[in-house]
Each structure stands twice: as structure tokens, then as C-alpha cells.
Amino acid sequence: MVRDLTALTTDMSLQEAVRIFSMTRVTGLPVVNDKQQVIGFLSEADVIGAIMPRSRDMSGIFLSDFGEIARKMGQARELSVGDYMTERPVTVTEDINLSTVSETMLMERLKTLPVVRDEKLVGVINRTDVCSKLMEDREAI
């Protein structure tokens, strides 16, 4: 687990969230309320989903879509984290075992899991942590 409490709040703009992703070099962050309880998760994919047109076929983006993309990019400072986050995200507790974390990440296609104690954020666990731990355990066998 990474003992870091960097988090977003629902009233932050997507622009602020992306700035924090960029500066902290993460691909997503938990969203917390004023009691530090985890109420959502915002990933880069959520931000892209907020900006990109929702209806398009497999042939890709239509030329007319670029106008909408540009407009939404311009609006990013007005779009709020609360409107685009994943609500009630999957969380784990500190005592969870590695195999459950690995399975959850694979099944739910999640890169980062918030770790909570009494619903409050105490850290995050990401795929790199899981891989490192798996390698350590393999070496120990």
C-alpha cells in the first residue's frame, strides 16, 4: 500500500483533477468527502469519457465531433469531478490478502484501489505494488 492521502473532492473541476494527476504522476485518485471518507474515484478514463463524444461508431471520430471535443475541453474548468467520477468505487481494507486484491483488479479492470479504515482513506494500492509484492513472494518460495 502507498501511504498517501492525495485525493480529489466533488467540487473540484476536471481541469484541476488533471493538473493533480499530472503533477503526482498517477492515473486516477479517490474522491473524498469532508470526513475523508471515500465516495468516488476519478480516473484518466473518466476524464477522457467526459471530453470525448459519447455516440460514435467504430470508424472513429467524425469531423463534426471535433467541435464538440474542443467545446468540452474549453469547459473542463467548469465540469466537476462529482459529475464524472465513479460513485461507490471498489475499496479494500488494510488486512486484505494479495490474491483478493489481484483478482479484484483483474476482474474489475482497476489500476488503483483506495484502502480504507472505518470508511476513511488511509492509502491506495496500485498494480505496481501488487506486481512488486508478487515478485517478492515468488523469490521467497
- Contact residues toward other proteins (CB under 8 A) are 2-6, 9, 16, 20, 23-24, 32, 34-36, 120, 122-123
Rg (CA), the chain: 17
CB of 53 to other proteins, least distance (A): 30
CB of 19 to other proteins, least distance (A): 8
Q: How far apart are CA 74 and CA 94, in angstroms?
A: 40
Nearer to other proteins, 23 or 107 (CB): 23
CB of 11 to other proteins, least distance (A): 9
Nearer to other proteins, 10 or 68 (CB): 10
DSSP 19-75: HHHHHHT-SEEEEE-TT-BEEEEEEHHHHHHHHS-S---TT---TTHHHHHHHHHHH
